[in-house]
Structure 1
Amino acid sequence: MLATAGSLVAAFWAALHLRTLLLAAFTFLFLADYLKNRRPKNYPPGPRGLPFVGCIFQLDFEKPHLSIQPFVKKYGNIFSLNLGDITSVVITGLPLIKEVFTHMEQNILNRPVTLIRERISNNNGLVFSSGQTWKEQRRFALMTLRNFGLGKKSLEQRMQEEAQHLVEAIEEERGQPFNPHFNINNAVSNVICSVTFGERFEYQDSQFQEMLRLLDEATCLETSIGCQLYNIFPWIMKYLPGSHQTVFRNWGKLKLFVSDIIDNHRKDWDPDEPRDYIDAFLKEMTKYPDKTTSFNEENLICSTLDLFFAGTETTSTTLRWALLYMALYPEVQEKVQAEIDRVIGQKRQASLTDRESMPYTNAVLHEVQRMGNIVPLNVPREVAMDTNLHGFHLPKGTMLLTNLTALHRDPKEWATPETFNPEHFLENGQFKKRESFLPFSMGKRVCLGEQLARSELFIFFTALIQKFTFQPPINEKLSLKFRMGLTISPVSHRLCAIPRL
């Protein structure tokens, strides 16, 4: 009896001891989290977050760019928003954005690196790198893209040829309902692939179609709640299934795809006759055998993949929005077609020199970009040193988000901010540039493919609207609902491309 009572007491004490230890551990973690994330003096105001996860559950992950807009009304044009372990500040309004990206830019040239991004690229490549790596890779990419045709007639001809391939692929649909997603992705991607890989891929190429599908899925999932939780609790999430595992798997397959192309290049590589970006990079690597620069195998893979991603996703998504808007606004489509018929006619393809003579078409493309708003909070920056902004203290390491959503829908800047209206970019019938239009960002880290993207949008769009009238399928209702990811893209939909006689 005494032995039994003693065992019960010992068990009770052990359980109590364990509970005390757990309680002490949780108390310590909460206290450490509070001390780590407490607001410094003069820190921008913002919503109070929960321990460890910050404000992520105050955001709607299907439309986070919209769910932060009430915070602007409540806290002003500079407010803080802690996302798990990341302290971020959101800036709103054209005067503030211009000030930050001109007078403060030297302090915000870096990219913040989330744990998920660190695992994918580890400060390599063009988009998410910082410091010396970014400077070297961007300078080399700009030089190489120019050498292989950017801004020259040769690359424009490749765009025209690819536009013709896309027209022929859509003609095969014979006016029946079809999903334009991956044909457009393939066409746009072929332009950058011709520069990076030295080849284009047929629309029936099953391996390349799979690469485009993996890229699309990874782009969509990288902003999911599962990936955000990985950034906060990597030691737990790495053992659990979820969207983060799909993202890692997809980027791994995409890296292997690029690595195989690099290996094939090496088989017949002639350093004196570079055929494309990969050949040029391989030659650059031979200049630095001691590996004192960022010109190494991992950066070759990541930079090539960044060009592939950026050169495919943003332009193709914008084109998909453009065709959707044409189907939803037939009166706008008719005006574009009238301008095409008047300036180009039906027999020849548009060239970039036609753009100045086609102000309405140019205005429509800009309005598609404004309304499509595909990178709603800009690509984030990181504050490299303690900085003062309008009396607020931004500590080193703060992530800076630019509220392009509010800028592109600002009633002070746009006559009808919530309505698709090409007149926003017209004045007395002529195209008008708008200072409050920043889809490619601004400053030293402005999108390096801006010129390429603008050219592609004009060539592809005019080729398609010249040959087809895009309409909703009978008994199917089109909408402007979107899918959130690294970019905002239209939800899956079908169109009818009716050949023009």
Structure 2
Amino acid sequence: MFEFIIEPLTGSSGLVWTLLVLVVVYYLWDRHQRLKSLPPGPTPLPLLGNLLDLASNDQLETFRKLRGKYGDLVTLHVGSFTMVVVSGYDTLRELFVKRGDVTSDRPDIYTFKEITRRHGITSRSGPEWKIHRTFAMGGLRDFGFGKKSLEGKIMEEVEVFLNVLDEKQGQAFNPDYCIQTSVANVICAIVFGKRFEHGDPRFIQLISIINENLALSGIAGLLNLIPSVRHIPGDPFQCGKVLSNAAKIYGYFGRLIDIHRVDYREDDISDLVHVYLKEMKKREGQDTSFTDLQLVNTVADVFVAGMETTGTTLLWAILFFINNPDVQERCHEEVTRVVGEGRFPSLSDRPQMPYIEATITEILRRGDIAPLGMPHATSKDVEYNGYILPKGTMLVTNINSVHTDPATFQEPSKFDPTRFLDKDGKVYGTDRVISFFFGRRVCMGEALARSELFLFLTSMVQRVRFKPADAENMPPIKGTVGITFKPCTFDCVVEKRL
């Protein structure tokens, strides 16, 4: 009965067939050994892998359950990806701080490979990433990061924002756009050397399509893990919309860069774009990664990160204030005691406002702005706790697992700033709030974001009080997961204090 196998092996092509069988057998054996060495996880189905395990509407809850069953490292297989979800503070620090030299690459997901074409800062890996991150950080420091002059830029937008709130008094309105415009203008001043009016229709459209793409381009979404879904007729997963939006975003930034080219003077370097253009001119004729594509992607990275994290945190702040008026009033009392009513708060007041600092920390924890961070990848095989994470493994940083850990935060679903104050009223325990992550991929704009959060929040509670648009129907503490975790749309009413 085995003649159909034996016969080909005894003919002139026997050697070829033997080698082919051996290669297949070795491949299957090697694959089995590699899978066996991976951390545990649910059994993948043929063709589908673990796609059904990720099909839940609440991905964070899915990862929470998987962690409870399998531990801090959970392996999932989707499409061509081997994905390991990393949970728990100690495990995250071990892999991304102590072993950051081999866990800081980016995986070959669609967003990085096809949309940004691995340019900019967020999408790059290896030596070129280090070069451009260092260069961008130097440029950002030149135009405000870590300097007193940055406070002036932030306060300009704070005052504009408060004027917009004055115009909204007594009206029910969604605070999303006016917050994002104000925060975006801070980064615009650094990157483009200009600001945009709150009613600018093109700027409104830019922010709108950025928000749409952030919602559609989830890190563990189908487009990233199974990019072939973009070919399904009718575009049910809105892949075409993501690509169309990306083209519009790059087009907008490209036009601003072109204006800078026309106005460029080597002795007048007034913003980050000018810094890049000067470097590009210096390298003309060389084989360099300082290209037009790199510049537009760097601008997009800095702009989106600078706008989204802080803007979303401030939206959560308003939502928490509405639902916790006692916290809002206590913040107001502390600002009034330290600053009074005759001037705006300053960064120099921060050490005297522990309750404000604790409140900002609790907003970052409970709001959980980036619950899954940005995906990493291993640059070579990594051994950890007896498991092998092969080169190219996609690592999902489950930051949510830290912020919702009941072993660290009692009643983690409760909003309570006092959990970060000791018996003497001093701030403590904030190291377990890792919204900006840590290690080599720590957020470049953390210092800017923290300054903005302090100045916006203290100025807000000093001057206005936020109330629900309908006291009988309080806006729920709920959000939607995209690249960030953003509050569901809500309306509020502002009441002037001064």
TM-score of the superposed pair, with normalisation by structure 2: 0.90
Is the counterpart of residue 59 in structure 1 residue 54 in structure 2?
Answer: yes
- The alignment partner of 2:36 has SS state of coil
Aligned partners of 2:267 and 2:374: how far apart in 1?
Answer: 37
Paired letter, 2:431: E
Aligned partners of 1:478 and 1:437: how far apart in 2?
Answer: 25
Aligned partners of 2:340 and 2:241: how far apart in 1?
Answer: 47
Q: Displacement, 1:188?
A: 0.3
Aligned partners of 1:412 and 1:51: how far apart in 2?
Answer: 37
Q: Deviations over 1:380-437 (max 9, x none)?
A: 1100101101100110000112221111111221133221110121112011243322
User: Quick one: which of 263, 279, 291 aligns to 1:296?
Assistant: 291
Q: Deviations over 1:126-171 (max 9, x none)?
A: 1121112211110011101110011111111110110000000011
Q: Are 2:96 and 2:104, in contact at CA under 8 Å, matched by a contact in 1?
A: no
Q: Displacement, 1:450?
A: 0.4
Aligned partners of 1:254 and 1:142: how far apart in 2?
Answer: 23
Partner of 1:464: 460
Which stretch of the first structure deviates more once superposed, 232-241 or 43-52? 232-241
Q: Displacement, 1:115?
A: 2.0
Is the counterpart of residue 246 in structure 1 residue 241 in structure 2?
Answer: yes
Q: Deviations over 1:161-215 (max 9, x none)?
A: 1000000001101222110000000000000011111111000000000000000
- The alignment partner of 1:414 has SS state of coil
Matches within 5 A, 1:349-388: 349-388=344-383
Q: Displacement, 1:489?
A: 0.3
- Give the total of aligned pairs: 470
Partner of 2:222: 228
Change (3 A) 1:56 1:365: same
Which stretch of the first structure deviates more once superposed, 478-487 or 316-325? 478-487
Q: Displacement, 1:63?
A: 2.2
Partner of 1:112: 107
Uncovered stretches (5+) of structure 2, i.e. residues with no partner: 1-24
Q: Are 1:363 and 1:422, in contact at CA under 8 Å, matched by a contact in 2?
A: yes
- The alignment partner of 1:68 has SS state of helix
Aligned partners of 2:482 and 2:115: how far apart in 1?
Answer: 16
Matches within 5 A, 1:390-401: 390-401=385-396
Q: Displacement, 1:341?
A: 0.6
Partner of 1:430: 426
Matches within 5 A, 1:313-324: 313-324=308-319
Paired letter, 1:211: L
Matches within 5 A, 1:251-290: 251-290=246-285
Aligned partners of 1:145 and 1:188: how far apart in 2?
Answer: 16
Q: Are 2:359 and 2:417, in contact at CA under 8 Å, matched by a contact in 1?
A: yes
- The alignment partner of 1:198 has SS state of coil
Q: Deviations over 1:222-245 (max 9, x none)?
A: 1299x6156425286276524111
Aligned partners of 1:41 and 1:410: how far apart in 2?
Answer: 29
Q: Displacement, 1:122?
A: 0.9
- The alignment partner of 1:107 has SS state of coil
Q: Are 1:53 and 1:232, in contact at CA under 8 Å, matched by a contact in 2?
A: no
Partner of 2:328: 333
Q: Deviations over 1:237-289 (max 9, x none)?
A: 27652411111111100000000001111111112211111110000111222
TM-score of the superposed pair, with normalisation by structure 1: 0.90
Paired letter, 2:489: S
Aligned partners of 1:102 and 1:58: how far apart in 2?
Answer: 29
Q: Displacement, 1:292?
A: 2.6
Change (3 A) 1:284 1:217: same
Partner of 2:193: 198
Partner of 2:15: none
Q: Displacement, 1:441?
A: 0.7
Change (3 A) 1:235 1:218: closer
Matches within 5 A, 1:161-240: 161-223=156-218, 228-229=222-223, 231-234=225-228, 237=231, 240=234
Q: Deviations over 1:353-385 (max 9, x none)?
A: 111100001100100000011111221110010
Aligned partners of 1:61 and 1:314: how far apart in 2?
Answer: 25
Q: Deviations over 1:58-78 (max 9, x none)?
A: 224532122111111111112
Aligned partners of 1:130 and 1:81: how far apart in 2?
Answer: 23
Matches within 5 A, 1:53-92: 53-92=48-87
- The alignment partner of 2:186 has SS state of helix
User: Quick one: which of 451, 454, 458 aligns to 1:455?
Assistant: 451
Aligned partners of 2:415 and 2:444: how far apart in 1?
Answer: 27
Q: Displacement, 1:496?
A: 0.7
Q: Deviations over 1:285-337 (max 9, x none)?
A: 11222343321100000000111110011110010000100010001111000
C-alpha RMSD of the superposition: 2.1
Partner of 2:9: none
Paired letter, 2:362: E
Aligned partners of 1:37 and 1:198: how far apart in 2?
Answer: 53
Aligned partners of 2:230 and 2:193: how far apart in 1?
Answer: 42
Aligned partners of 1:224 and 1:52: how far apart in 2?
Answer: 21
Change (3 A) 1:419 1:236: closer
Is the counterpart of residue 139 in structure 1 residue 134 in structure 2?
Answer: yes
Aligned partners of 1:121 and 1:256: how far apart in 2?
Answer: 13
Is the counterpart of residue 489 in structure 1 residue 486 in structure 2?
Answer: yes
User: Quick one: which of 122, 126, 145 aligns to 1:127?
Assistant: 122
Paired letter, 2:352: S
Partner of 1:5: none
- The alignment partner of 2:101 has SS state of helix
Partner of 1:473: 469
Q: Are 1:136 and 1:294, in contact at CA under 8 Å, matched by a contact in 2?
A: no
